[in-house]
Chain A
């Protein structure tokens, strides 16, 4: 397939104008149809080969919908998702039928948030991890067991555990099984959908380090979805910040955390817990007034304006486009003028930047 739009050589997945509207439920007795839920609207970002891209935002901001669109669980209402294939060509994932998508199910893998519900309790670990190998005939049936044991060893589980059922594992171990399942196909992009959010802090650190090691070993690309900024800061190269279905800021992890350009990012950063009580007094938490906007009734102009302390007339009427600003992108009319406060160091119980 030709490459008309010129996918930059280091880009693995290029998302442009991705939009997903969920039509409202039609009620029998409701005359007027309600507004559709704009779960994701005009979201654009790119995932570069070998990087870890963070996707951050409050719950309900459309993070999960984005991952579901990427994986083909939902069909996008509009927008393109151009994917670079192994052979160097590119393919529009959004144009493929459900059957054609199957060809890429081994390339794009996911690790789920909840290690409890993402593993079938009726199957042994070897069947859970081996399912994808079996269904896609990636490995001859006689070799699946050996392959599973190898994968388990890779994620730090004893190979003998292959015969066990998920109920015999702790949360952290189950998540390792989930990771083994994702890695079974030698994927290129792994979506980590809140993959460490359900784990407690010490296990979280172990799992993050494991993910890093695996990334190095297999040259993986991660899309790391999380609402936890400390985790994002720890593992991500670049970060996409979303608010009510739209991207508000994209920057490298370092730039975003030291000097946010969007007032929403600043507010998110100010919510990071600071363990040192002497510092805590100096850093005042920015409390946003009001509620997160309803994706079915987004405010006119900038969606964030009702809660923004810098909102002006322009913010109320004109939606700010995502602008390029010195190697980073931000969707705010006043980005240049604002001097927003980032964080200097993050100490949240995770090991120092290893």
Chain B
């Protein structure tokens, strides 16, 4: 009998086997996530966007509000390399100046590139002073014109001659943070209500689920419009921002609550949760040590996938003119400028913030997809 009982174990445990066997769930998830190339690349794109949003004053060549009336609807200038200016000095990067003429019949300004004028563009250019992260006073910008008096519009200028690139960079701050803060509020509500719903079940579950059904059945745009209309018009822009976030998360929590509830329901019947109960674990311990860690990775995935819809919702609201308003700079507010056909035909570069939205949303979606696929390393 003893020969049957003897377990089949290798004599020595190879380090490679140990690396796998002693890898925690998070290690496995990360290894799997890294194999998802698109998601892994998106992770860096997303981190990059948030970094840019955080250091907007430094990254943007100008402040979002500095304007130059001479360059109303000025077209984008192409960044060129190695050019010699009138003084015979060669510059690594430069832009050509524009010659402006006014067409009295069409009442239209036309810009013609002046190949002869060379304005150098430098890294860490001296420009308008600002406070980095709101703390450190500085006046250097990542990129900017060598001569601060010269204009530089890499993405063109808007109606008031403001730099679209700088405004898009500054807009990232509001647009990207609305996603984060909104999802944080949604997550709190979703975890709380979804957890209660899934853990207790019964009539509590029924009530919460019907509330979710009700909230989800309301058409979102009219609901937002109604709620946004209730926000006082003369409110501080920061408060409006908070209001908009709350309005967005009012809908956003429902999906997260569903996810959390579903995980709780399926985990409640898992044998290992039962085993924990039979081990004499308290209710708290069963929930926090055995149940919650089992679905945090799924929550992370859902949250990542919820951020882009928040960003899109903010953009939509502001575009319709019922969300954030000038002087606040967000991608939705910027896109509002591109509403009229006239503006679009004369200055199509006003759609540039839309490209930023697309990149951010796509990257977040790829990232979320990757995390979701990696979340269950045994699947």
Contacts and interface: CB of A to CB of B under 8 A. Distances in A.
Interface of A: 71, 73, 102, 105-106, 109-110, 112-114, 117-122, 124, 131-132, 135-136, 156-158, 160-161, 163-165, 167-168, 172-173, 176, 181, 205-206, 209-210, 213, 351, 354
B201 to A, nearest CB: 12
Nearest to B296: A122
B270 interface: yes
Contacts of A157: 7, 9
Given A121-B25, A121-B378, A173-B7, A209 B1 contact: yes
A326 B5 CA distance: 37
Contacts of A105: 278-280
A165 B24 contact: yes
Interface centre among A156, A165, A172, A351 (most CB of B within 10 A): A165
Contacts of B18: 164
Chain B interface, DSSP helix/strand/loop, else mixed: helix
B80 interface: no
Given A105-B278, A164-B22, A206 B5 contact: yes
Contacts of B270: 117
Interface in B5-60: 5-7, 9, 13, 17-18, 20-25, 28
A110 B272 CA distance: 11
Contacts, number: 96
Interface string B73-98: 00000000000000000000000000
Contacts of B21: 161, 164-165, 167-168
Contacts of A73: 274, 277-278
Interface centre among B4, B9, B378 (most CB of A within 10 A): B4
B378 A120 contact: no
A160 B22 CA distance: 11
B112 to A, nearest CB: 66
Given A132-B280, A167-B28, 15 more contacts: A73-B278, A102-B280, A110-B278, A120-B290, A120-B294, A121-B294, A121-B378, A122-B293, A122-B294, A157-B7, A167-B21, A181-B275, A209-B5, A351-B4, A354-B1
A165 B280 contact: no
A25 B24 CA distance: 41
A160 B13 contact: yes
Interface centre among B7, B25, B285 (most CB of A within 10 A): B7
Interface residues of B, number: 34
A135 B285 contact: yes
Contacts of B9: 157-158
Given A105-B279, A105-B280, A354-B1, A168 B271 contact: no
5 contacts: A114-B271, A120-B272, A121-B25, A124-B22, A163-B22
A165 B23 contact: yes
B181 interface: no
Contacts of B25: 121-122, 165
Contacts of A118: 271-272, 274-275
A52 B275 CA distance: 22
B342 to A, nearest CB: 58
A172 B8 CA distance: 10
Interface string B256-291: 000000000000001110111111111001000010
Contact of B281 (A109, A112, A117, A131): A131
Contacts of A176: 7
A210 B21 CA distance: 24
Contacts of B275: 110, 112, 118-120, 181
Given A122-B293, A135-B279, A117 B5 contact: no
A160 B9 CA distance: 11
A351 B20 CA distance: 35
Contacts of A209: 1, 4-5
Interface centre among B13, B17, B272, B290 (most CB of A within 10 A): B272
B172 to A, nearest CB: 36
Nearest to A138: B280
| In the complex, the 3 A-B pairs of residues with the closest C-beta atoms, listed nearest first | A168-B21, A118-B271, A132-B279
Contacts of A132: 279-280
A162 to B, nearest CB: 10
A36 to B, nearest CB: 17
Nearest to A111: B275
A71 B278 contact: yes
A158 B17 CA distance: 14
A132 B270 CA distance: 18
A301 B363 CA distance: 68
A136 B282 CA distance: 10
Contacts of A205: 4
A136 B22 contact: no
A121 B378 CA distance: 9
Contacts of B280: 102, 105-106, 132, 135-136
A167 B22 contact: no
Interface centre among B21, B22, B278 (most CB of A within 10 A): B278
A214 B334 CA distance: 74
Given A120-B294, A135-B279, A168 B20 contact: yes
Nearest to B206: A28
B7 A156 contact: yes
Interface string B357-379: 00000000000000000000110
A109 B274 CA distance: 12
A176 B5 CA distance: 12
A109 B28 CA distance: 32
Contacts of B1: 209, 351, 354
A168 B290 CA distance: 19
Nearest to A202: B4
A116 B280 CA distance: 21
